[in-house]
Structure 1
Amino acid sequence: MPKLYFRYGVMNSSKTANLLMVAWNYRLQCRKVLLVKPIIDERYGMNIIRSRAMGSGVEADLVIDKDWNKEDEVETKDLACVLVDEAQFLSEKNVDALRELAKRVPVICYGLRTDYRTRLFEGSKRLLEVADVIEEIKNVCVNCDRKAIINAKFYIQENEEKIIMRDGPGELDLGSEEKYQPMCWNCFSC
């Protein structure tokens, strides 16, 4: 029976690299995968899924906006798996459509769980509510050896000193990965 998976991790935990490796392994076995990404992620081009860790990318088969809910239009014949990158940017409507699609084919979503304010993203929240399988892709804190659970955002002052931001607008600065570091709760809250 197909399932809906949510594989989440903090920044720099190789989520997209994992997605690309899963896609590569399926294709190595001559099995068809559908690569999906939200339209909001334009860092490397409208339809490119790229891993900073691997330095490579592939073209997405389907780029969806917040209103996409046409899971019934996805041809699942001969489709082995659906892989979704940047799942935190999905809307609740998108996740519900993927939930329905997972009745016919496995759907694996990769993304962040929370923003730098430790608030759930809309897509992540819905995935945590309805996914059959929830898996954490672990990473370590940049300051110590504890498990990172926070996507800490830094403001860099004129004197180059980094200040942790704990409040402000909820949106992620796409393409500004250098502003974010994975941290444990202890280091984040100091």
Structure 2
Amino acid sequence: MLRAPAPHPTDHPMAKLFFRYAAMNSGKSTQLLQIANNYESMGKAVALYTSAIDDRYGVGMITSRLNIQRESATFDAGFDFLAQDYGDTACILVDEAQFMTPAQVQQLHRLAHTRNIPVICFGLRTDFQGHPFSSSAWLLSLAEDVEEIKTICQCGRKATMHIRIDGAGRRVKEGPQVEIGGEARYRAVCGNCFHAD
């Protein structure tokens, strides 16, 4: 009696949730846009998302510091990833993932596993005070594939933290967790420089 051949693992690939985290200026958005280009060069559709509150380069724009820019859908705190029609989307790419809610991270995890669409999120782990972003803590807990994108501090060590500086170049140690625009500027630093007074 002849038996059908066993399915090859690549016949039914299992999608998962990915989290790519790094300090600022590490090339997260550049990598995201490169992945989008790779999929599209093979004729596959991608869904791009970024935070509606990040308007540094215009709302709904994913922008690399290498001056590569692309329009994107946006999410805010009330956005439901599960309610979207992804059609033949081959991959979902999320920039500024630290601005999601924990519920949205759970939605993306569920989406990857129930609709078999890989979801790749790029973001920061911690804020300028060294506190974790709640969505990043959830991503670190739920993502099946977690990877650090490395960059360096001005002193030459690996940068893992951030500091906020004002318009006069002074370090700011208190204030809201999220502050975009105005005088607020950020710098990626190592742990030693983060704790230096």
Report the TM-score when normalising by structure 1: 0.87
Aligned pairs (5 A) from 1:169-180: 169-174=176-181, 179-180=185-186
Instruction: Find the counterpart in structure 2 of residue 155 from structure 1.
Output: 166
Offset at residue 24 of structure 1 (A): 0.8
Q: TM-score, normalised by structure 2?
A: 0.85
Residues 31-70 of structure 1 aligned to structure 2 (within 5 Å): 31-52=44-65, 54-60=66-72, 62-70=73-81
| Partner Cα distance (2:187, 2:84) in 1 | 39
> What CA RMSD, in Å, does the superposition of the two structures yield over aligned residues?
1.8
Return the offset for 1:131.
Answer: 0.9
- Structure 1 counterpart of 2:41, one-letter code: L
Match status 1:71 vs 2:82: yes
**Matched-pair contact (CA < 8 Å) for 1:114–1:121:** yes
1:86-141 C-alpha deviation (Å, 9 max, x unpaired): 00000112111111111120000001111100111122122112111111110001
Rounded Cα–Cα distance in structure 1 between residues aligned with 2:39 and 2:22? 22
The CA distance in 1 between the partners of 2:133 and 2:104, in whole Å, is: 13
Cα distance, 1:188 vs structure 2: 1.8
Tell me if the contact between 1:66 and 1:93 (Cα under 8 Å) persists in the aligned partners.
Answer: no
2:104 maps to which of 57, 76, 94? 94
Gaps of 5+ in 1: none
Q: Which moved more, 1:18-27 or 1:118-127?
A: 118-127
Q: Tell which structure's C-alpha radius of gyration is larger.
A: 2
C-alpha distance in structure 2 between counterparts of 1:187 and 1:93, whole Å? 34
Structure 1 residue 156: Cα displacement = 4.5
- Of 173, 179, 188, the residue aligned with 1:182 is 188
Identity across the alignment (%)? 40
Structure 2, unaligned stretches of length 5 or more? 1-13
Corresponding residue number in structure 2 for 1:168:
175
Question: 1 CA distance for matches of 2:51 and 2:180?
Answer: 15
Distance 1:28 1:14, change over 3 A: same
Q: Contact 2:81–2:108 at 8 Å: present in 1 too?
A: no
Aligned residues: 181
Matched residue, 1:19? 32
